Amino acid sequence: MKKKTGKSTGKNTGKTKGISRAQFMGGAAAVVGAAGAFPAQASASESASASASESASASESVSASASASKSVSASGAAGATAGTRRGLTHRGVVYTVGAGETPGTAWSERRMREDIRVIGSELHADSVEVTGDGVERLNATASEVAERGLHVWLQPTLGDVPEKEILDHLAESGRHGERLRRQGAQVTLAVGCEFWLFVPGIVPGDDVLERIENLEKGNFDLVKMQKRLAGFTAKAAAVGRSVFRGKLSYAAAQDERFENVDWGLFDIVGIDYYSYFRQRADYVRELRTFLRWGKPLAITEFGTCTFKGAPEAGGMGWNIVDYTKEPPEIKGNPVRSERTQAAYLTDLLDVFESMNLHAAMAFEFITADAPHRPDRPRYDLDLASYAIVKPIKDRPDDPNSDWHWEPKQAFHALARHYGRARC
């Protein structure tokens, strides 16, 4: 599972070197750890959140379906047509574009075209979240999604470069999204993802690894960090508005104590969501707090890894890999379970459908740099992958090896769900 940011080797050429999803999720984990030490704040948004939580307490003992029904009526504007529509407006999958970590997993237009075909015709998704860095890769993928008649959720995520380069990268991608929109495609532009990690200067640190370390150690000032984050988010929203005339969004971390976004800047609230509860009503109660803005709510990421107990680990499922080893290897003895992954995805989809949310994007379609190794479970990095298909190398120990993917149970489970929704 990889979320790509990048170090530019040429101005917006698409030639970037990405960070691994493990590093990205390490940042998220650092946020969770840091959030535990955050002092209580009397901000308007937190007061609203507390109020929403209190109003939900009376429903804790009722069924999940009853709670979901109440949440829709309480939200006011779960979607543009919440009064008549039932279920999600958009059902999709995240498709990450990036340079790849080895020559064998480098981005390929040929592979991308086939993947997008499968997403539409076999997964039965109606939306693709095109995310990552490199304008050429982003634009080519977004164009292919549009040509297939699918909704494009375009989300550039260049990082670890100066602010101006990030904003220029956003503007170039946004202009292409606007061209597609004017040609008749359904396009939403998300101006970025969790800027506190990707953008230098918000959290102290020259690169993502230093920022994660400072988060883990508490070496940052929360008030100053949130001020810088709000400032850059406003800049990104302004750039997005200047080049794109369609709906605008952003993908935020779900912990509002850390990333308290001014959703007045955007048309759609976007949340990367990795919670785990035993009762569906608890998901409804938590998600309901994001509806207080009276705007559609999109789940810009949700998913889990491929082993028993992964849902309980939330966004830390990747942490069963020891990346200090070469090659990286699995720690302990986790039990592979594609069924666990599939069940978590479909359970959450049922919650999102019951709340009439705007969109849900399963994270993610493929992680080429986390190959499945049924022959050597100690090196089966797909265990720690959130992807719904598993890459298999022709020559497992050769970084230049060709490879193919095979669907996991999660792919088939999503296909059944999405297929029924299309009927």
C-alpha torsion 70→71→72→78, nearest 10: 170
- Give per-residue pLDDT as tens, 65-86: 333 334 343 343 444 444 456 8
Three-class DSSP labels, the chain: CCCCCCEECCCCCCCEECCCHHHHHHHHHHHHHHHCCCCCCCCHHHHHHHHHHHHHHHHCCCCHHHHHHHHHHHHCCCCCCCCCCCCCCEEEEEEEECCCCCHHHCCCHHHHHHHHHHHHHCCCCCEEEEEECCHHHHHHHHHHHHHCCCEEEEEECCCCCCHHHHHHHHHHHHHHHHHHHHCCCCEEEEEEECHHHHCCCCCCCCCHHHHHHHHHHCCCCHHHHHHHHHHHHHHHHHHHHHHCCCEEEEEEECCCCCCCCCHHHCCCEEEECCCCCCCHHHHHHHHHHHHCCCCCEEEEEECCCCECCHHHHHHHHHHHEECCCCCCEECCCCCECHHHHHHHHHHHHHHHHHCCCCEEEECCCCCCCCCCCCCCHHHCHHHHCCCCEEEEECCCCCCCCCEEEEECHHHHHHHHHHHHHHC
Considering the chain, what is the average pLDDT of its residues? 84
Domain assignment present for residue 42? The answer is no
Domain assignment present for residue 44? The answer is no
Residue 92 has, within 13 A of its CA and on its CB side, a CA count of 28
Provide the sign of the torsion angle of the four alpha carbons 210, 213, 215, 220, taken in this order: negative
Question: Is 93's pLDDT higher than 90?
Answer: yes
What residue has token string 């048309």? Answer: 267
Question: Is 279's pLDDT higher than 80?
Answer: yes
Question: Is 23's pLDDT higher than 80?
Answer: no
Residue 41 confidence class, pLDDT cut points 50, 70, 90: very low
Please answer whether residues 141 and 116 qualify as being in contact, where contact means their C-beta atoms are separated by less than 8 angstroms.
Answer: yes
Alpha-carbon span 284 to 70, nearest angstrom: 9
Q: State the pLDDT at residue 77.
A: 43
Please answer whether residues 38 and 257 qualify as being in contact, where contact means their C-beta atoms are separated by less than 8 angstroms.
Answer: yes
Provide the sign of the torsion angle of the four alpha carbons 388, 392, 396, 400, taken in this order: negative
What average pLDDT does range 229-244 have in this prediction?
A: 98
Question: Is 108's pLDDT higher than 70?
Answer: yes
Q: State the pLDDT at residue 102.
A: 80
For the chain, give the percent of residues with pLDDT over 70.
80
The two tokens of residue 366 are: 């493929």
CA distances from 54 to 59, 115, 261 (A): 10, 44, 22
Domain assignment present for residue 41? The answer is no
Alpha-carbon span 197 to 20, nearest angstrom: 13
What average pLDDT does range 157-183 have in this prediction?
A: 97
Q: State the pLDDT at residue 4.
A: 35
Please answer whether residues 349 and 417 qualify as being in contact, where contact means their C-beta atoms are separated by less than 8 angstroms.
Answer: yes
Q: State the pLDDT at residue 346.
A: 98
- Helices 280-288 and 44-56 cross at an angle (nearest 10°) of 150
- Give per-residue pLDDT as tens, 360-386: 999 999 999 999 999 999 999 999 999
Instruction: Determine which of 7-11, 105-109, 281-285 has the lowest per-residue pLDDT on average.
Output: 7-11
Question: Is 105's pLDDT higher than 60?
Answer: yes
Domain assignment present for residue 367? The answer is yes
Domain assignment present for residue 43? The answer is no
List the beta bridge partners of residue 272.
253, 301
Between 123 and 48, name the one with better pLDDT: 123
Please answer whether residues 324 and 297 qualify as being in contact, where contact means their C-beta atoms are separated by less than 8 angstroms.
Answer: no
Q: pTM of this prediction? A: 0.85
Domain count, the chain: 1
- Helices 409-422 and 338-354 cross at an angle (nearest 10°) of 30
What is the domain-level CATH number for residue 363?
Answer: 3.20.20.80
Domain assignment present for residue 255? The answer is yes
Q: State the pLDDT at residue 30.
A: 53
Domain assignment present for residue 149? The answer is yes
Q: State the pLDDT at residue 302.
A: 98
What average pLDDT does range 306-329 have in this prediction?
A: 92
- Give per-residue pLDDT as tens, 253-277: 999 988 999 999 999 999 999 999 9
* One-letter amino acid of 41: Q
Please give the residue range of the domain that contains residue 169.
7-36+50-422
Domain assignment present for residue 2? The answer is no
